[in-house]
Amino acid sequence: MNKPTGSKQNRYIIPLIILGMMFFVIGFGIGISGFLTPALRSAFDLSTGQAYLVTFAIFSAFVIFGRPSSWVIHKIGYRKSMVTSFLIMAVGMLVFVPSATMVSFPLFLVALFIGGIGNTLLQASVNPYVTILGPIESAAKRMSMMGIMNKLAWWLAPLFLGIFIDLQEVRLDDVILPFYLVAGILTVLGIGIYFAPLPEVVAEGEEVMEEESEEDTSYSKNKTSILQFPHLLLGALALFIYVGIETLPMASAIDFAKVSLGDVPNLERYSIYVTAGLVMGYLVGVVAIPKYMNQTQAMIIFSVLGILSTLLLVTAPITYAFYGLLLVSFSNALMWPAIWPLALADLGRFTKAGSSILVMGIVGGAIIPLLFGNLVDLSQNITGTESVKNYQNAYWIMMPCYAYLLYYALKGHKIRR
C-alpha cells in the first residue's frame, strides 16, 4: 500500500489542485510547440521533416536528463524538484527572445531544449507523486484528472500565442512579448510551489533508499538493479510509443487540416479539436476508473480503439480523413494514466529511479513525429505533390504502436522476474 500523509481522500484535494496546475504548465509548453511547428516552418522556410525538429528539441532532453533527474529528486525531494523545474523552464522561455531577435533557428531549438530539461525534471517528480498520492487502484483516475488540466492547456496555448502571432504570416518579433510573459508566470508558479502545502509521499519500500531492510517487504526486496524489473522496462517502451502517437496528432493537425480541408481561416482551431478528443477520453477515465473498469481494462479497450481509429484515418475519403485524427486522439487519452501505475507497481525503493526510466521514454514525442514528418516528405517526393494521401500513408506508423500498447496491457505489465 502507498503511504501518503493523511489517510482520508479529502486530504488529497488541495495537493491535487496544486498538481493540476503543474500539469497545466506541462501541457502549455507542449501546446506551444505544436503551434510553433507550422509557424516556424513558414518563418524559416523549412521542410515538413525539418519543422518537426521543434518537437525533437523538446523531447530529446528527456533522454539526456531522464536518469539525472532521479538523482536530483533523491537529493532534494519531490517538491524542490518541481520548483527547480519551473525555474529552468522560465530560462528556456527567456532564450526565445534572442533567438527571435537574431532570426536563429538553431538558437530557437536551444531554447526549446532548455525548456525540455525543466519539463523532464517536472515529469519525473510530478507523475510518480500523483501515482502514489492515493490508492494505486485509482491512480489512473487521478492521472486522468491531471490529463484534463494538461490538455486544456494544449487548447489555450495556441489561443494565447494566436493573440500575438498571425499563423498565415509569421513574424518572429511577435513572439518576444508572449515569451516574456510566460517566463514571468513560470517564475511566480515556481515560487508558489515552494510554499504550497504539498505532503511528502513515499511508495511501499521507497523509504529504504540504499539497502534492503526488514521493512522492505515488497517485490523489490531482493532486487539490486532497476534493470531487474522487466515490467518497468517494457512500460518505458510503451510510454515511448504512447507519447509519440499522442504528440503526433497535435503536431500535425494544422498541416493535415490544411491539405485535407483546403485553405480555411483560423487554422489553429483544428489543434483545439484534437485536444478536445483527449479531454473527452480523460473524462471517461475519471468517471469509469475504478468503478466500472480497472486501469488495465481501460488500456486494452483504448488500444483496440486506436487500431480501429488508425484504419479509419488512413483509408477514409479526403473530406472525412481529418475526423479520423480526432478519434485517434480520443483513443490516446487513457494510455498515459494506465501505463504509469502499471509500470511503477512493486518498485518499492526503486520508485524514483523507475520514474526517471519512464520519463526517458517520453522522447518518443520527438522520434515518432520526426519519423512521420520525414515519411510525409518521402511520400511527397514520390508523388510530386503535397496531398492528403501523403499524410495518410505516413499515419500508418501508428498501427504497430497501438499493437504494442495492446500487448503491454494484456501481458507485458504482468511480467515479473
Please report whether residue 215 resides in a domain: no
Q: What is residue 404's predicted lDDT score, i.e. its pLDDT?
A: 97
Instruction: Count CB neighbours of 57 within 10 A.
Output: 21
Question: Given a cut of 60, is residue 2 above it in pLDDT?
Answer: no
pLDDT above 70 covers a percentage of the chain that reads 82
In contact, 329 and 271? CB cutoff 8 Å = no
3-class SS at 161?
A: helix
Instruction: Count CB neighbours of 94 within 10 A.
Output: 18
* Residue-wise pLDDT tens digits, 313-330: 888 887 778 788 888 988
* Residue-wise pLDDT tens digits, 52-74: 677 677 778 888 888 888 888 88
Give the total number of structural domains in the chain. 1
Please report whether residue 211 resides in a domain: no
Q: How confident is the model at residue 108 (pLDDT cuts 50, 70, 90)?
A: confident
Question: Which structural domain, as residue segments, surrounds residue 151?
Answer: 9-205+221-414
- Average pLDDT, integer, range 401-416: 93
Higher pLDDT, 84 or 216: 84
Please report whether residue 148 resides in a domain: yes
- Average pLDDT, integer, range 79-91: 90
Mean pLDDT of the chain: 80
How far apart, in whole angstroms, are the C-alpha atoms of residue 37 and residue 254? 9
Which contacts qualify for 165-170: CB closer than 8 Å, 24 or more apart?
A: 165/35, 165/39, 167/35, 167/38, 167/39, 167/42, 167/254, 167/267, 167/268, 168/267, 169/42, 170/39, 170/40, 170/42, 170/43
Question: Given a cut of 50, is residue 263 above it in pLDDT?
Answer: yes
Cell numbers linked to 168: 498565415
Please report whether residue 332 resides in a domain: yes
Q: What DSSP state is assigned to residue 399?
A: H
Q: How confident is the model at residue 238 (pLDDT cuts 50, 70, 90)?
A: very high
- Average pLDDT, integer, range 161-169: 68
The alpha carbon of 23 is separated from its chain's Cα centroid by a whole number of angstroms, namely: 10
Please report whether residue 214 resides in a domain: no
Question: Given a cut of 50, is residue 335 above it in pLDDT?
Answer: yes
Q: How confident is the model at residue 49 (pLDDT cuts 50, 70, 90)?
A: low
Ranges 197-201, 237-241, 370-374: which has the least confidence? 197-201
Please report whether residue 1 resides in a domain: no
In contact, 349 and 216? CB cutoff 8 Å = yes
Non-local (6+) Cβ contacts of 160 within 8 A are: 28, 178
End-to-end CA distance of the chain: give it in Å, rounded. 21
Please report whether residue 210 resides in a domain: no
Please report whether residue 78 resides in a domain: yes
107: domain CATH number is 1.20.1250.20
